[in-house]
Structure 1
Amino acid sequence: MQADENPFLKSFKDPAAISNYQSGPPRFTPGFADLHRMVTILLAERVPDDGRILVLGAGGGLELRAMAESQPDWTFVGVDPALPMLELARDTLGDAAARVDFIEGYIDAAPEEVFDGAVCLLTLHFLDRQERLRTIKEIHKRLKPGAPFVAAHSSFPQAPDVRDKWLSRYEAFAVASGVDPEMAGQARDAVSRSVELLTPEQDEQILKSAGFSNVEQFYRAFTWCGWVASA
C-alpha cells in the first residue's frame, strides 16, 4: 500500500478529524503524555543543548510541543503529508513554532542536512513493510553517526490465535478512556483492515536492516511499542 492510498492518512486532511485530533491519540494510546516525556529523555542522552531534531509525522504538534517545552534551545524540522495538520501543529506550539521549520510531504521532502536526532511517533504503522524500510533508511541518512532515533507505533503479536485478542484490548482501552463504544469498534475494524501490522520482532529487524544499531525497546503498552536506536 502506498502511503497516499492509506485511508487513515486521508482522514488527516478531513476538517472534522483535525478538529478532534488533540483529544484522540491520548484516548487510544496508553501513557501518551509519558511517551513524549520518555522520548525527550532518550534524545537528551545524546543530543546537545542546541540540537536540531527531525520529526516525521509532526502534524498536530503534540510531541513537538513536549520536546520544545523541555528543551528550550532545540530546533526542529517537522514533516507531515497533511498541510492542515501542520497548521494545527503551528497553533499548538504557539511561540515555540518559531523554532520549527514545517515541511509538507513525506521523508523525501525533508532536507538532507545532518540532524542530531530524529523522532517518528504513531506514524510508521501507516506504511507497508517496503515503504517503512525505505522511510527509515532515509531517516538514517539524515542523522549524524551515533545520533538517536526514537520511534513508536502500533506493533504487536500477529499470530491468528492472538491478533484479535490484542485488537480487543486496543478497543477496550479506548472505551475505558471515554471513546464512544461504536467509534472504538470502528477504529478497531479500520486498523485490522487498513494497516499492515507487524510484530515487534519484525519492526526491530527493519530498524536494523535500515542501518540502525543498539536497538532497544523502551515502551510497550497493549498494541503499541517504542524503540530507541543509534545511527
Structure 2
Amino acid sequence: MADAAQEPFLKNFSDPDAVARYEDGPRRFVPGLEALHRMTGLLLAERMPADARVLVLGAGGGQELRAMADAHPGWTFVGVDPAAEMLRLAGRVLGPHRERVELVEGYIDDAPAGPFDGATCLLTLHFLDAAERERTVRAIHDRLRPGAPFVAAHASFPQAAAERDVWLDRYANYPIAMGADPDQVNGARAAVAASLHSFDPETDEAIIRAGGFADVRLFFTAFTWRGWIAHA
C-alpha cells in the first residue's frame, strides 16, 4: 500500500516524460547495477528448477526481468508494480521475452498466491516504512515454496545523523561522476533525504527475518545500496 511519503516518487514514475528517461537513471545511481542483476539470477538459480516461476515485485522498467529472462530461457515471471507507465516501459524493454511475463499493476496484495519458485524485490522496499515493509516481505514469503530463494536490494546505509549525511553525499556524488546533471542529482538527494524510508543494514536484515525468511545473507554492497539473499 502507498503512503504519503511515496507520493513524489509514484508521481515521477507515472510521468511519461520521466519514465522515458528512466532506463539510464538506475545505472547512474546504483553502482554495479548490471552485476546486481546478474548475481540475482545466479543466486535464484541455486535453488530453482530450469522451468521456475518467479515473482518480481517492483518490476516497472523491466531491467531485472530482461536480465533474468536473457540468462534463463526456461523461467517465467509475474512482475508487479503500482505504476502503469513503468509497466508499459517494462513491456517494451522485455522485447521478445514479453510472452513469458505476466505484468500486474498494483502492490504485493495484487500478486497471484503462487506458489512461486523464487522472488525478487530490487530498488523497491525503501519506499515502504518499517511496518509496511515487514508486511510486504511476509506476503512475498507466503507466496513462495518452502526453501525458495528471495533476493532483496535497496537503499540501506548508516542512519546516525553525521554518518547519514556523508552517505547521502556519496549517493549523489556517484551519479555526478557518471555524468548526471548535478542540479537533478541534488534534487534527488533532497527527495531521498526527506521522503525515502531508509534504515541501517542491520535493521533491514532484521525486517527480512521478521517477514519469515531464514539464512539471510548480505551479498551486495555499493555505497548506499545493499542486497540480501534469503530463503523461505
Task: For 2:15 and 2:131, locate their aligned partners in 1 and report how far apart those are by CA, in whole Å.
Answer: 27
2:214 is matched with which residue? 213
2:2 is matched with which residue? 3
Paired letter, 2:182: P
1:124 is matched with which residue? 125
- Counterpart contact for 1:4–1:10, Cα < 8 Å: no
TM-score (norm 1): 0.98
Gaps of 5+ in 1: none
Task: For 1:144 and 1:167, locate their aligned partners in 2 and report how far apart those are by CA, in whole Å.
Answer: 37
Task: For 2:130 and 2:208, locate their aligned partners in 1 and report how far apart those are by CA, in whole Å.
Answer: 11
1:34 is matched with which residue? 35
Gaps of 5+ in 2: none
Shift of 1:64: 0.1
Shift of 1:172: 0.3
Show the 5 A alignment for 1:30-179: 30-179=31-180
Once the two structures are superposed, what CA deviation does each residue of 1:199-222 show, in whole Å capped at 9, x if it has no partner?
000000001101100000000100
Paired letter, 1:92: V
Secondary structure in 1 matching 2:146: coil
Task: For 2:108 and 2:25, locate their aligned partners in 1 and report how far apart those are by CA, in whole Å.
Answer: 24
- Counterpart contact for 1:9–1:126, Cα < 8 Å: no
1:192 is matched with which residue? 193
Paired letter, 2:146: P
Shift of 1:4: 4.9
Paired letter, 1:98: E
Paired letter, 1:86: L
Task: For 2:61 and 2:2, locate their aligned partners in 1 and report how far apart those are by CA, in whole Å.
Answer: 18
Once the two structures are superposed, what CA deviation does each residue of 1:152-205 show, in whole Å capped at 9, x if it has no partner?
000000011210000000100010011111111111110000112100000000
TM-score (norm 2): 0.98
Secondary structure in 2 matching 1:143: coil
Secondary structure in 1 matching 2:219: strand
Task: For 2:133 and 2:15, locate their aligned partners in 1 and report how far apart those are by CA, in whole Å.
Answer: 24
Paired letter, 1:176: A
2:228 is matched with which residue? 227
Paired letter, 2:192: V
Task: For 1:4 and 1:62, locate their aligned partners in 2 and report how far apart those are by CA, in whole Å.
Answer: 25
Task: For 2:17 and 2:64, locate their aligned partners in 1 and report how far apart those are by CA, in whole Å.
Answer: 21
- Counterpart contact for 1:120–1:151, Cα < 8 Å: yes
1:22 is matched with which residue? 23
Q: How many residues align?
A: 230
Instruction: Compute the RMSD of aligned alpha carbons.
Output: 0.8
- Stretch deviating more after TM superposition (89-98 or 5-14): 5-14
Identity of aligned residues (%): 59
Secondary structure in 1 matching 2:207: helix
